[in-house]
């Protein structure tokens, strides 16, 4: 039954793509080739970096550039008709043509479905508890659901209101470098504070025990992750630290809070330009990316919980600084 439900969830998240898939005459062959190796690379990068505090967006922007999928030339279908990221409207008669870069950006968001399925698989019990809490059958699950909502709402509001500006002005290598370094500094500061003031971390405190104000503060901190290179996982874990959760429990709360964020992003992006993206890259490569992302996400989640329990965030901060130095040398020197 559980596998059947997971299958239904996966299909449901893919509906924006499947329901609006281009007609058979238009989708016979992809407009631009996405190699199987590219799909696998994207899936691995998304799956591993989505939950590690090292910025999935930052790594995917870099991967897009290295794989040569960041061209800004407007694309057309086999019939020569333009493909749209945003179709022309009365307010915007020019519209926004779909480019290879926008298609790749859409692809990297849509394959987050794999990361979603990984969390659902590993944290099925907590999700059922939250459902029972919604139905009034589990008080602990109700509190956990409340805290997930409080931590999700701020980033949903800010993200939806600024998504256009972020995509237009912040998706660049330079902003990723700033996000990586800034996030590393924050991680080092919070990790040192945790060790100096060990009493602020109550090892027995669960995410369901957070006060609504504490969950809301985590949601406000999560808004920092809208800057590419910062990492949603990282800022949510940091927020959990400051609220008194242990490293492992901070990570687990981060996974649960990430579910509505990832679902919302995948559905909105898939609905907006998913069909055109499929016409460019082909449906099989989208499904391959989702499968690879799901498998690698499961491995990354298990690794992160164990690693944080033993070592905390410091190692990831050092990695971010080294990665920023490498990216700077690669792109600017």
Torsion sign across C-alpha atoms 227, 231, 232, 236 = negative
The predicted pLDDT at position 189 comes to: 93
pTM: 0.84
* DSSP conformational letter for 76: B
Which regions of the chain are under pLDDT 50?
1-28
pLDDT digits (tens, 9 = 90+) for 229-270: 999 999 999 999 999 898 899 999 999 999 998 998 888 888
Determine how many CB atoms are found less than 10 A away from the CB of residue 12: 12
Whole-number Cα distances in Å, 269 to 104, 108, 262: 12, 10, 11
The predicted pLDDT at position 9 comes to: 43
The predicted pLDDT at position 160 comes to: 85
Every domain of the chain and the residues it spans: 36-332
The predicted pLDDT at position 87 comes to: 83
Q: Environment class of residue 30 by beta-carbon count within 10 Å: exposed (0-12), middle (13-18) or buried (19+)?
A: middle
Closest CA to 83 of 332, 273, 284: 273
In angstroms, rounded to a whole number, what is the distance separating the alpha carbons of residues 120 and 294? 10
Evaluate whether 146 touches 231 at the Cβ level (below 8 Å).
Answer: no
SS percent in the chain: helix, strand, coil, step 5:
75, 5, 25
Q: How far is CA 104 from the centre of its chain?
A: 15
- CB neighbours of 9 closer than 8 A, spacing ≥ 6? 116, 117, 120
pLDDT digits (tens, 9 = 90+) for 180-192: 999 999 999 999 8
């Amino acid at each position: 039954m559980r596998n059947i439900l997971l299958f239904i969830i996966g299909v449901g998240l893919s509906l924006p793509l499947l329901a609006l898939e281009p007609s058979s005459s238009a989708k016979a062959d992809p407009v631009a080739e996405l190699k199987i190796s590219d799909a696998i690379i994207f899936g691995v990068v998304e799956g591993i970096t989505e939950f590690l505090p090292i910025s999935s967006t930052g790594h995917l922007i870099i991967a897009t550039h290295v794989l040569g999928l960041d061209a800004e030339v407007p694309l057309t279908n086999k019939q020569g008709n333009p493909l749209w990221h945003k179709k022309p409207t009365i307010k915007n008669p020019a519209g926004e043509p779909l480019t290879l870069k926008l298609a790749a950006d859409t692809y990297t968001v849509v394959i987050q479905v794999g990361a979603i399925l990984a969390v659902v698989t590993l944290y099925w019990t907590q999700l059922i508890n939250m459902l029972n809490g919604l139905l009034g059958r589990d008080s602990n699950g109700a509190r956990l659901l409340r805290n997930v909502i409080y931590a999700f709402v701020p980033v949903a509001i800010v993200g939806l209101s600024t998504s256009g500006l972020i995509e237009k002005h912040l998706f660049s290598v330079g902003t990723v470098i700033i996000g990586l370094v800034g996030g590393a500094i924050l991680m080092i500061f919070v990790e040192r504070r945790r060790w100096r003031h060990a009493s602020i971390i109550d090892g027995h405190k669960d995410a369901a025990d957070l006060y609504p104000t504490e969950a809301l503060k985590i949601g406000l901190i999560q808004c920092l992750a809208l800057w590419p290179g910062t990492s949603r996982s990282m800022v949510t874990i940091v927020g959990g630290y400051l609220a008194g959760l242990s490293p492992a429990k901070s990570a687990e709360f981060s996974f649960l809070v990430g579910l509505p964020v990832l679902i919302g992003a995948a559905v909105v992006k898939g609905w907006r330009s998913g069909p055109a993206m499929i016409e460019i890259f082909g449906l099989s490569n989208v499904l391959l990316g989702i499968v690879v992302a799901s498998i690698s996400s499961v491995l990354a989640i298990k690794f992160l919980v164990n690693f944080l329990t033993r070592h905390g965030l410091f190692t990831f901060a050092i990695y971010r600084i080294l990665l920023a130095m490498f990216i700077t040398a690669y792109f600017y020197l």
